[in-house]
Structure 1
Amino acid sequence: MDIHEIDWSKMQWKQIRQGVEQKAFSGDGATVALHRLMPGHEPKPHSHPHEQIAYIMSGRLRFHIGDEVRDVGPGGLVLIPPNVMHWGEVLGDEPVLNLDVFTPKRPEYAA
């Protein structure tokens, strides 16, 4: 059995673009990514073939998912279906810390 383990507290944040940072961990079938989004970051509409579940740990994020909009705060979860255009924008002055789960895994995020 091959057990894959990391310590996120020792892992450096990877800057994805201005105002967006990430730490990621992948298994054989799923990827978990910790994202830190700063107020004023440039939202980037995108889609991907992965189902995504986003859990907001701190801050507030306005999700645009297809034609729908949802404001989500700490403790909130949102499901983003595969191949649906989506993006998020930080609400207020507090950075957002969110945990995303993707299935199938995202090899480009792999740690």
Structure 2
Amino acid sequence: MTAYPEVPADPGVKRQVLADHPDLMVVAFRFAHAGAEGKLHRHRHVQSTYVASGRFRFTVGGAPREVGPGDSFVIDGDVEHGCVCLEPGELIDSFAPRRDDFL
């Protein structure tokens, strides 16, 4: 098993790959302060997001939603999405297939 380092993702956001396989990847995103953003983007991968801590306002396919600890949801591939941190915390994202650009 490979231990991956924590790396900067966006200002105020760090990313760490927790586990990977060609078919699946698990990644922690740690938001240091309110206002930090996961900028709007899209990718081919199906994404499942679990809110481990903090509060976030997500925009998925143009629709906003606020989420907090224990919430989870799935984002289909090729759907534009992003988030703004409302309270510092951590998101655990799973991607299928693996995001090779994170390795």
TM-score (norm 2): 0.88
* Of 5, 11, 20, the match for 1:26: 20
1:87 deviates by: 0.5
| Residues 1-111 of structure 1 aligned to structure 2 (within 5 Å) | 5-6=1-2, 12-24=5-17, 25-38=19-32, 39-91=34-86, 94-110=87-103
Q: What is the aligned residue count?
A: 101
What is the one-letter code of the residue matched to 1:28?
Answer: P
Look up the equivalent residue of 1:97 and give its one-letter code: E
Structure showing greater radius of gyration is 1
Question: Once the two structures are superposed, what CA deviation does each residue of 1:78-106 show, in whole Å capped at 9, x if it has no partner?
Answer: 11111011100111xx3120100000111
Mapped contact 2:58–2:64 kept (Cα < 8 A):
yes
Higher strand share: 2
Deviations 1:33-86 (CA, angstroms, capped at 9, x unpaired): 000123222441100000000000000111100121111110100111110111
Q: Give RMSD over aligned pairs.
A: 1.5
The answer for unaligned runs of 5 or more in structure 2 is none
| Residues 31, 109 of structure 1: 8 Å contact kept | no
Structure 1: where are the runs of 5+ without partners?
none
Query: Percentage identity across aligned positions?
Result: 33
> TM-score, length-normalised on structure 1?
0.82
Q: Distance in 2 between matches of 1:6 and 1:56?
A: 24
